[in-house]
Amino acid sequence: MEKKDENKKPFLSRFSDRTKIAFLRFWFVGLIYYLVGWGTDLGLNEDPVDFIFVLALISSAAIIIIFNPICHYMFDIERNGIIMNKEIQNRKIYQGVLFNLFEFVRCLLVTVLIYLTYELINMAFIHLTNADYLILQGEPILYGVFFTLYYEIFTSIRNKILFLFQSKVKQKKEKK
């Protein structure tokens, strides 16, 4: 008879909150791509500008209104090792507006980068194989993977900039 290990953690507690949030973001934006890209006529247009803008607009609105509040209450949001949940909830109005504007710009840049990634992969495939068809057209799973990857890169850059800015402010306060 085997003895159960009482110190064994449940499956989901083995992952950090950041990993759980990244997986949920992957799933959430994949769902958005599924609904917008495959559920509307925008995905069939030859000109991708409207599709990119609408996808970024819906992604940012859904992340601001649905995803972020859920994650802020379910998980500990860390920035540079400090849990930010209380600061996020106690923002001033102008800080919230700036955050939401930055979120839209970030989603727009991420969506443009994903479009360019698809184009680069397809052009390289066509150039290397002399094929006359696209290998990657657009689908929710790969879109979610690319979105999560680029989003995390932009978030890391933002956190580093905020850390540098806060350390400069602390240095100025210490000099006075």
Query: Domain locations in the chain?
Result: 16-169
Mean pLDDT of 18-27: 90
In percent, the amount of the chain with pLDDT more than 70 equals: 89
The pLDDT score that the predictor gives to residue 7 is: 62
| 4: pLDDT strictly greater than 60 | no
Within 8 A by CB and 6+ apart from 159, the residues are: 79, 80
Q: Identify the three-state secondary structure at position 78.
A: strand
Mean pLDDT of 146-167: 89
Reported as a single tens digit per residue, the pLDDT across 24-74 is: 999 999 999 999 988 888 877 778 888 999 999 999 999 999 998 888 888
| pLDDT band, residue 2 (cuts 50/70/90) | low
Q: How do the residues of the chain divide into helix, strand and coil, expressed in percent and rounded to 5?
A: 75, 0, 20
Amino acid at 43: G
pTM to 2 decimal places: 0.82
Check residues 103 and 81 and name the one with the higher pLDDT.
103
The rounded distance, in Å, linking the Cα atoms of 141 and 33 is 9
The pLDDT score that the predictor gives to residue 69 is: 85
The pLDDT score that the predictor gives to residue 145 is: 95
Reported as a single tens digit per residue, the pLDDT across 119-155 is: 999 899 888 888 887 777 888 999 999 999 999 999 8
Check residues 110 and 137 and name the one with the higher pLDDT.
110
Mean pLDDT of 152-165: 88
For residue 82, list its beta bridge partners.
79
The rounded distance, in Å, linking the Cα atoms of 71 and 21 is 7
For residue 78, list its beta bridge partners.
83
In sequence order, what E strands does 84-152 have? none
